[in-house]
Structure 1
Amino acid sequence: MAPRPRNPGSRDLPANLYKKKDSRSGITYFTYRDPVSGRCFGLGKDKEQAIREAMAANFADAARPTLTERLVETKRPATRLFSAWIEEYRGIYLERGLAANSVRTALMRLKRLDAEFGANDIRDISTMMIANYLGAMAKEGKAQMARAMRSLMRDVFMEAMAAGWTNANPVDVTRAARVVIKRERMTLDLWKEIYAEAKQPWLRRAMELAVLTGQRREDIANMVFKDEHDGYLHVVQSKTKTRLRISTGIRLECLDLELGAVIKQCRDRVVSQHLIHHARTISLAKAGSQVWLDTISKEFSSARKRAAARLGLDLGKTPPTFHEMRSLAARLHAAEGRDPQQLLGHRSAKMTDMYRDIRGAEWIDVA
């Protein structure tokens, strides 16, 4: 029987050599299939090297073992510990030049993967092992973390295949955990009540900046006075590196707030380069120093609890966090006729729509 004709995309490859393009990264990987045993061997992403190795294997018929010898399991190469590959992958990841927060988070997650799978040969890590690991995480209510870990593990094994450490990616056939958004949205009325309970002047300024600019907590904490010039506040988002110029004339009529006026109020008797800074020395925090992210979250949480207690509100198990002001900003600016997608720095309208979703937190007026 004549062999089946090869696909058009593989006609320039020698017999038994196949290629597969990863849909996410766009990288093409090459695999050699032994025509006798049917076993597949990953040859990485270097096409010329893969062709040389495949041709050498095809012309090695004289030295090919007999069928009886092939039925006996061949001796495996030296153990390739997953922990050793994790160390290699760290270097690959650091060379990508990602944001500091992304790198820090990835390194912490790699440490967890090393503790869980590091003692295994990378070729022995099965789909079931990974599925059990991710499934247990999801059952603990950490579905978002499970999705993030799956994405990272998939990339870890993709790079391992490219480097010839393994022949398959056991993560590909696992299912991503379904994430259910639980955090409550923040309404304008609740924002006003929390604002009234904010004891620290810098917290009030941070809340004003958050609802006016729609920026993330990290970006607000990193804002400095020199970023305001030529009638704009210049922001380079720490997460996406998106560069925004926000007019200092932008305002929210519903709160009677204008960005330029808020920036001026950030200046006080203390010399500081940061808009959000300590007005006096407290413990290790010196006057004029930048307010830490955890401190922002902690003080905001305290003000939220005081507001809820004063009003007798039950905000549930997942009350709105400081980050929810990003969603509130999107909704308020859209209501006043501005494009929230540009303000938030989103590349797609779909992502902005997620922020504008009120999740049943506000009444809908029907005329």
Structure 2
Amino acid sequence: MAAKRRHSNRKDFPDFLYVEKRAGKVRYRFTCVDGTKKMFPVGTTEYQAIQAAIAYNAKHRAMESFSLESQKFIKPTDKFNKPLSEWIAVVKNRVSDEENMSPDTYSVFLNDCDRLIERLGHKLSKQIKLMDLNDWLNHYFGSKSKNVYNRKVSFLKKVFAYLADESAVNTNVAEQKKPRRLNPEDKAKDRLDLTIDDFKAIHQKAPLFLRTAMEIALQSTHAVKELHRIKYSIKKPAPGKCGILWFEVPTHQNGVTVYGTLYIHRQKVKNSKASYVAIPVTQAIKDTVERSRKDKLICPYVVHRRNKLTNGIAKECDHQFQCTSKIISRTFSKVRDELNLYSDLPKSLRPTFHEIRRLAAQKLQEMGENPQQRMAHSRPETTKIYTDSNNIEWHEIPAKEVEI
């Protein structure tokens, strides 16, 4: 009896071993020489099923002239050569323990790990070649931008570095993968800038919590991941916290009245020294904070609202009225579209809440202030992405005639 033609994702399985889902669980099925079909017990790993099938086939389906059991030269099974799906669990745990990723970054990492399991999880780790990684990249990210594609190449290099460290692979095969070359066009900013007039139009129509977030973003240059964590008052600054430490008596700095300090620890680059920012609370910030209390909700967070749905506290929050970063971003885009702003553009090119950060950086630069420290950037090149204009700059050359 010949084995059925195997699905491409299971082509490395031994003959007569199959996988199926029963009652929502992955189960392994094997066909014996007498035609009976046997299910492996619940909880059997892919590696255990493969090894059992190999042993059975070697004993009961070996050719008459050749017996696997009689050969003396068979090497013992490599205990490290297990299905990639089993090793990915090890990599996830190590990354969680060792790398201190931000929640968003780690979430993206886990999603990519799941894609890796879905496409290559059945393969034994030491059988994975560059062509398998190319297949994975092209399947999920072939149509994405070069920047996205290159980030996934870096992801593969990270995962296979851990696998090599665990002896799951002999070499980091992902190091052979060449990232796509970026041209100036690839580095250009696609999303349109937010104009001051459109900022004002959205601000006027926005609900109170969004107006509050927009005003603080304009004054601080910070993004939603920080804004939704700002507390009305803190006793002292600390890592991971965002909030205001008020002065008992206002002071004056550079001719500006300062009422306290807004401490922000930027989440995206939280391990960088530049991620700790202390911003003077000027009259503009103070007025915003006071206006945010008009709804009379009792909440320790400046950006807050009464939830329409009573489905508990969001994962990234610790108070029922605290706004999530997604609520701020989505509400901004909703108001923008209700006003028919940028309606001639696809949504992917319309300015989002994040463009307020760029607008603020450009205004600060126009005022003669370098926004790098305020924006919590380690490198001036990063700040330049926000402050550079999208307009073409023509370099005027003095009049000269070439004589020969």
Q: Is the pair's TM-score, using the shorter chain for normalization, greater than 0.5?
A: yes
Instruction: Give the direction of change, closer, same or farther, for the CA distance of 1:259–1:156 in structure 2 (3 Å limit).
Output: same
- Comparing 75-84 and 233-242, the one that deviates more: 75-84
Give aligned-pair identity as a percent: 22
1:353 and 1:211 map into 2 onto residues whose CA distance is 17
Q: Matched residue of 2:209: which SS?
A: helix
Q: In the alignment, what sits opposite 1:235?
A: 264
Partner deviation per Cα, 1:59-101 (whole Å, 9 max, x = no partner): xxxxxxxxxxxxx996762532111111111111111233233
2:328 and 2:122 map into 1 onto residues whose CA distance is 40
Instruction: Give the direction of change, closer, same or farther, for the CA distance of 1:209–1:315 in structure 2 (3 Å limit).
Output: farther
Equivalenced residue count is: 283
Whether 1:308 and 2:309 are equivalent positions in the alignment is: no
Q: 2:279 aligned to 246, 253, 256, which one?
A: 246
Instruction: Give the direction of change, closer, same or farther, for the CA distance of 1:340–1:201 in structure 2 (3 Å limit).
Output: same
1:156 and 1:223 map into 2 onto residues whose CA distance is 35
Q: In the alignment, what sits opposite 1:89?
A: 91
- The alpha-carbon deviation at position 143 of structure 1 amounts to 4.1
Q: In the alignment, what sits opposite 1:355?
A: 386
2:141 and 2:89 map into 1 onto residues whose CA distance is 27
* 1:240 partner amino acid: V
Q: In the alignment, what sits opposite 1:134?
A: 137
Q: Matched residue of 1:228: which SS?
A: strand
Q: Could you tell me whether the CA contact under 8 Å between 2:116 and 2:136 is conserved in 1?
A: no
Q: In the alignment, what sits opposite 1:275?
A: 302
Q: In the alignment, what sits opposite 1:255?
A: none
Q: In the alignment, what sits opposite 2:229?
A: 222
Partner deviation per Cα, 1:131-187 (whole Å, 9 max, x = no partner): 232234443235444333222211111121122221211211223244554222222
Matches within 5 A, 1:55-66: none
5+ residue gaps in structure 2? 1-72, 234-242, 248-259, 313-318, 397-404
Instruction: Give the direction of change, closer, same or farther, for the CA distance of 1:298–1:76 in structure 2 (3 Å limit).
Output: same
1:135 and 1:158 map into 2 onto residues whose CA distance is 21
Q: Could you tell me whether the CA contact under 8 Å between 1:137 and 1:145 is conserved in 2?
A: no
TM-score (norm 1): 0.70
* 2:362 partner amino acid: R
Q: In the alignment, what sits opposite 2:113?
A: 110
1:283 and 1:107 map into 2 onto residues whose CA distance is 28
Q: Matched residue of 1:129: which SS?
A: helix
Q: Report which of the two structures shows the higher radius of gyration computed on alpha carbons.
A: 2
2:311 and 2:359 map into 1 onto residues whose CA distance is 30
Q: Could you tell me whether the CA contact under 8 Å between 1:86 and 1:110 is conserved in 2?
A: yes
Q: Could you tell me whether the CA contact under 8 Å between 1:203 and 1:300 is conserved in 2?
A: yes
CA RMSD for the aligned pairs? Answer: 2.8
2:211 and 2:324 map into 1 onto residues whose CA distance is 15
Partner deviation per Cα, 1:261-320 (whole Å, 9 max, x = no partner): 212222231111011101x452227996011222222211111112335xx852344211
Q: Could you tell me whether the CA contact under 8 Å between 2:192 and 2:350 is conserved in 1?
A: yes
1:315 and 1:195 map into 2 onto residues whose CA distance is 21
Q: Could you tell me whether the CA contact under 8 Å between 1:212 and 1:329 is conserved in 2?
A: yes
Q: Could you tell me whether the CA contact under 8 Å between 1:271 and 1:288 is conserved in 2?
A: no
Q: In the alignment, what sits opposite 2:192?
A: 184
Instruction: Give the direction of change, closer, same or farther, for the CA distance of 1:283–1:76 in structure 2 (3 Å limit).
Output: closer
TM-score (norm 2): 0.64
* 1:248 partner amino acid: V
Q: In the alignment, what sits opposite 2:350?
A: 319
Q: In the alignment, what sits opposite 1:262?
A: 288
Partner deviation per Cα, 1:236-282 (whole Å, 9 max, x = no partner): 11111211111112x8xxxxxx222212222231111011101x452
Q: Could you tell me whether the CA contact under 8 Å between 1:185 and 1:358 is conserved in 2?
A: no
Q: In the alignment, what sits opposite 1:120?
A: 123
Q: Could you tell me whether the CA contact under 8 Å between 1:210 and 1:325 is conserved in 2?
A: yes
* 1:277 partner amino acid: H
5+ residue gaps in structure 1? 1-71, 252-257
Q: Matched residue of 1:267: which SS?
A: helix
- Comparing 332-341 and 106-115, the one that deviates more: 106-115
Instruction: Give the direction of change, closer, same or farther, for the CA distance of 1:94–1:267 in structure 2 (3 Å limit).
Output: same
Q: In the alignment, what sits opposite 2:202?
A: 194
Q: Could you tell me whether the CA contact under 8 Å between 1:274 and 1:288 is conserved in 2?
A: no
* 1:333 partner amino acid: L
